Amino acid sequence: MFHKDIFPPQNSPILESSQIESGVKRIEKQSKESMQSNNLDRHIFYANTLFDFSNQLISDSDFDQLILKARKTGLVDAIAQLKNGGILNQTEHRKVLHTALRAKPDNRFPEEMQQHIDEASQVRVKMRRFVDELHAGHIKGATGKTIKYIVNIGVGGSNLGSRLVTQALARFRHPSIAVSYVANIDADDLYQVLQRVNPEETMFLVTSKTFTTFETMQNAIAARGWLEKQLNLDSTIILQHHFVGITAEVNRAVAFGIDPERTFEFWDWVGGRFSLWSAVGLPIAIAVGMDLFEELLAGARAMDEHFFSAPLESNIPVLMGLIGAWNIEENHAAGLSIAPYCHGLRSLPAYLQQLEMESNGKGIDIYGQPTKTRTAQVVFGSVGSNGQHAYFQMLHQGTRQIPTDFIAVAEDLNIFEGHQDQLLANCFAQSAALATGRIYPDEPHKTCAGGQRSTVIVLPQLNAFSVGLLLAAYEHKIFVQAHIWEINAFDQWGVELGKSIAHDILPVLQGHSSNCEVDNETQRLIKHIQFIRENLKNR
């Protein structure tokens, strides 16, 4: 149990010496208990990657109870269902098949699963042909100039994963192609990207599963209008030469005006936040080449094979999921800090925020009843070397249990001498300090209680294989926790509610009538916006 009564209530005006002494003694006891648990070596070395759970401070008895719980809930059978493409998205009655996107043909899979593997493989053949032609300079814009700028327009799962991987593999990027991302409906996002590109040499990838996502389509329409104005050409020509569609609704992309040969399909059995392995990853392939995209899939496939076959006691995603759930349920964890000590992984916290919170941020179980325990926690973070000068203070001396995942890279590229060793020293020091703390009997304001749990993940290199391995581990962690909590990790009805209400509010905000009733508070906000805009006009 994390300390909650170490210090007296905040309304105590003066700390008596006896109170200080009592608080310090409690901290010393907790620190000793943490050190005892910390002596247990819990690490797994797989595919040259270290997953070290030692600083999760979990005792042998607690560990054994977690494994027993996993067995009793039928986790082994659930993993088999995932492997074989079972209907695990119950509310939408959909199969969950993102692992098919990176699987190789194998007669051990059921026939229908093999069919989906073949479908994904055929799309990758089409992707390779397009990427090779683009890299060779054979794809031209409407005025005959070679395409050199790629702008991916997409939001959520159509943006976060591809953006993360493109950043992570930046040192491998193709020298003559620049890839940018636009996600925000705030016009400034698109506007700033357009300032950096040449319209004659720019191609837009419109990435939307339904091809109706309002943020994405609004930005796509704006991009089309910008090209029409800049090139003084008809929209039909613009769409044929400067737009690519990535969607599960190919007919809608074609109706929008995109060439069917430049429309790349994925399917309704691919959830958005699990989709970077599909055609949604086309901007990754464009940025670094199709060979490295295949390496990314190979890394994810290696983690799939481990997850599907390793015993529960030594199964990396199983332990990530079980220990994470234990921290939430038993240790009252208030959040999960993601601290990559690697600039290339700077977008990992945002990616995992969607993956974990959109997947498992549920309070109703698969039986339609309130969940029996707390589920997902708040996921946040930043590059570790920046975070330790900001929110880490709360981790060390705050009053909440907030575990941390530290992610580091072993390889030293020697870009600048000594930098990588400094980075690793800080990473390991933070994990140790959070676990064990330090007591200052005469200066209690300096005392750090310890007992803050963490996992340390060390990738051998920041390459496509390692990134794929890492992201697949987190995907499977989510699945494990959803199974334990008996929730559906593959729907997002809360997101759908917000979209629906925005659809009702928009006409009112624009001064039109709405068929739906808008609540009083929202009406007041709209009137306030209209008042401000009117005042700005009259200046």
Those residues whose C-beta lies under 8 Å from the C-beta of residue 379, and which sit 6 or more positions away, are 335, 336, 338, 349, 352, 353, 356, 357
What the block records as the tokens of 307 is: 């997850």
**Which residue is listed with tokens 């996502």?**
213
Distance of CA 410 to the CA centre of its chain: 22
Please report where in the chains the tokens 């009702």 appear, as a residue.
504
Q: What is d(CA 422, CA 239) in angstroms, rounded to the nearest whole number?
A: 49
Nearest to 54 by CA among 74, 76, 33, 37: 37
Task: Return d(Cα 172, Cα 156) in angstroms, integer.
Answer: 25
Phi, psi angle pair for 207, to nearest 5°: -110, 110
User: How many other C-beta atoms lie within 10 A of the C-beta of residue 524?
Assistant: 10
Active site residue 358: yes
Count, residues in the chain: 539
Tally the C-alpha atoms within 13 A of residue 483's C-alpha that lie toward its C-beta: 25
Single out the catalytic residue among 29, 43, 372, 389: 389
381 phi/psi in degrees, rounded to 5: 155, -175
Among 358, 475, 476, 483, which one carries the catalytic annotation?
Answer: 358
Give the three-state DSSP class for 240. helix
**Residue 389 annotated to the active site:** yes
Query: Which one is catalytic: 499, 503, 527, 528?
Result: 499
Identify residue 332 by its one-letter amino acid code: H
Instruction: Give the pairing of strands 49-52 and 43-46.
Output: antiparallel
What 3-state DSSP class applies to 409?
Answer: strand
Using alpha carbons only, give the angle 456, 57, 24 rounded to the nearest 5 degrees: 115
CA distance 144 to 142: 6
List, in sequence order, every residue forming a beta bridge with 178; answer none if it has no partner.
149
Catalytic-residue membership of 499: yes
Q: Give catalytic residues, as residue numbers.
A: 358, 389, 499
